[in-house]
Amino acid sequence: MSEGKFIADTLESVLVGIAESLREAQEELNSIAPLDGYGRPAPQYRIPHLDFEVGFQLKSETKSSGGVRLIFAPVTSGEASKEVTSRITGRFVAVPPGEGMPVPQLAADVTSAGNRRTVTFTATTSAGEVLTGADIEVNLDREASIGLSKAAGVSSPRLTAVSLSSAVVQTDASGVATTEVQLGGALQTAARVVLVAELGFETLRLVIGKEVS
């Protein structure tokens, strides 16, 4: 193997290792619950960039019996050697979703009428463009609902009493779509219901309930 190939392969392994570690760290940060035990938004963290510096020393040894080997180790007696010391610096930069292009954004407004909640979604892009004919998927997050309900003192919220008029809605010409949530009589009064709305990679969470408008 040539010195150039050896150095290239070694640095490739090091850089890939750093990148993998950076990705795993961001995934751990992404796993932080979006809401705390009281249903309040929790801080979210992002790694915008990572500066790095890699220093290495390459030793090329020529054995007395002939042949050359490349190692990272002290030179032994009876062998000629040459050393190459170098340092590489750089930066890993987080690439925004869509590679910098406008990405979907989702907002919602909730109105109440008795035990019925009307959720009105507005879909736009980060550039302010209205998204027409976009599908928004709405689901009940049972695990989060049970967790928040327990924090509110309800051990058995009876989520089967919650129903959606439509789990998938489509935005109109103004980028608006609506769905209705019925909070049935069996749902505990203090229970918390967490809805998750998805528009592509954009996710929006809503907390509703009989005591939450």
Instruction: Say which residue, 43 or 5, is predicted with more confidence.
Output: 43
- Kindly give the residue spans of alpha helices, DSSP state H, lying in 49-194: 142-151
Structure tokens at 108: 């919602």
Query: Mean pLDDT, the chain, as a whole number?
Result: 83
pLDDT for the residue numbered 64: 63
What are the structural domains, with CATH classification, of the chain?
3-93 (no CATH), 104-208 (2.60.40.10)
Using a cut of 0.85, tell me whether the model's pTM lies above it.
Answer: no
What tens digit of pLDDT does each residue of 43-84 get? 888 888 889 887 666 666 666 665 555 554 444 444 444 555
First to last CA, the chain: 69
> Which of the 8 DSSP states describes residue 174?
T
Cα–Cα nearest to 130, from 106, 150, 153, 156:
106
d(CA 95, CA 123): 23
What tens digit of pLDDT does each residue of 85-117 get? 667 788 888 776 655 678 889 999 999 999 999
| Highest mean pLDDT: which range of 39-48, 176-185, 196-205 | 176-185
Q: Do residues 160 and 187 make contact, with C-beta atoms less than 8 angstroms apart?
A: no
